[in-house]
């Protein structure tokens, strides 16, 4: 684990989100869990060296942020926004999250196959949130204040976890640091507003959902990525391009690499981003 501040740790080195934890005088608060089984088990053991796990906070419902909850059963209270809870491991038209988690094992965690549950076993108790909130929520653990700030956009239940005493926040996928941004079903207007809200926080370090730890200066980069995508698709529609033409011609492959372990998904990201924005704009909705 990378030590970001005296009491904050994260890992940005393997496939999935950047799972992290905060050490307090009364135990540990985990922020997101590894998708890969052996990484989840190892992170739990590492975190518990600092004391009992008091809370596990999920920043969003995407599988790479929540699947590892299964391996944290019995370790603290799981907390998530209502928007996260409503979408927790829900099978959608484009993705079966359980199958997606299993798909990564041969290439990224072959040893994890031995401890990967079958579908029925997993869904009997995936360790979903038992504390579900709307709006914002503040936790206090061992004298440390931890603010959960609703910052929707990438997903409806997106939260930013802000620790004022450490001058750190965890944004989940509101920020993709130096790697490809996944838009898919996102609401870009809300996403930009979320970036503006994060900008008001007094932080030195931002721990993103993907990519290296960064600073508030990166908020402008993330905003520009969103605006470039929307502008490119909007201009294409104004020129009369069809959906297929938009998908074929618009991409930002050269802007960034894909995050660790997902290089093979570059074309998928470009296609889904372009198609999602086209569908929203052509329907007259805000992207």
pLDDT 10s digits, 145-191: 999 999 999 999 999 999 999 999 999 999 999 999 999 889 999 99
Mean pLDDT of all residues in the chain?
A: 96
pLDDT in tens, 34-60: 999 999 999 999 999 999 999 999 999
Both tokens of residue 236? 């294409």
pLDDT of residue 287: 63
The whole-model pTM stands at 0.95
> Integer distance in angstroms from the first to the last C-alpha of the chain?
36
Of the chain, the percentage scoring pLDDT greater than 90 comes to: 95
The Cα 243–Cα 277 span in angstroms is: 10
The Cα 39–Cα 71 span in angstroms is: 10
Q: How large is the average pLDDT for residues 215-233? A: 98
Check pLDDT > 80 for residue 286. Answer: no
Comparing C-alpha atoms, which of 263, 209, 146, 172 is closest to residue 12? 209
Q: Which H or E run contains 123?
A: helix 119-124
CATH topology of domain 2-222: Metallo-beta-lactamase; Chain A (3.60.15)
pLDDT in tens, 94-135: 889 999 999 999 999 999 999 999 999 999 999 999 999 999
**Per-residue CA distances from 268 to 76, 155, 175, 258 (Å):** 36, 19, 19, 11
pLDDT band for position 3 (50/70/90)?
A: very high
Comparing C-alpha atoms, which of 197, 161, 1 is closest to residue 81? 161
């Amino acid at each position: 684990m990378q030590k970001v501040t005296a009491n904050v740790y994260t890992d940005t080195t393997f496939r999935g989100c950047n799972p992290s934890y905060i050490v307090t005088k009364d135990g540990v608060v985990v922020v997101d869990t590894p998708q890969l089984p052996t990484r989840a088990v190892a992170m739990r053991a590492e975190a518990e060296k600092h004391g009992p796990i008091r809370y596990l906070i999920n920043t969003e419902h995407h599988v790479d942020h929540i699947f590892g909850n299964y391996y944290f059963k019995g370790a603290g209270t799981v907390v998530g926004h209502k928007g996260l809870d409503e979408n927790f491991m829900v099978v959608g038209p484009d993705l079966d999250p359980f199958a997606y988690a299993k798909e990564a094992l041969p290439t990224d965690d072959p040893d994890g196959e031995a401890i990967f549950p079958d579908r029925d076993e997993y869904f009997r108790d995936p360790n979903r949130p038992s504390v579900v909130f709307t709006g914002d929520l503040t936790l206090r653990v061992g004298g440390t204040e931890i603010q959960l700030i609703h910052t929707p956009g990438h997903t409806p239940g997106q939260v930013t976890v802000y620790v004022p005493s450490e001058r750190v926040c965890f944004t989940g996928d509101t920020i993709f640091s130096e790697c490809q941004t996944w838009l898919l079903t996102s609401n870009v207007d809300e996403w930009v507003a979320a970036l503006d809200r994060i900008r008001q926080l007094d932080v030195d370090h931002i721990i993103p959902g993907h990519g290296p730890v960064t600073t508030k200066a990166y908020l402008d980069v993330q905003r520009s990525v969103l605006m470039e995508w929307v502008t490119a698709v909007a201009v294409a529609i104004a020129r009369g391009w069809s959906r297929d033409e938009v998908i074929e011609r618009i991409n930002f492959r050269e802007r960034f690499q894909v995050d660790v372990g997902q290089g093979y998904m570059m074309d998928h990201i470009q296609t889904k981003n372009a198609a999602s924005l086209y569908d929203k704009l052509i329907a007259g909705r805000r992207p």
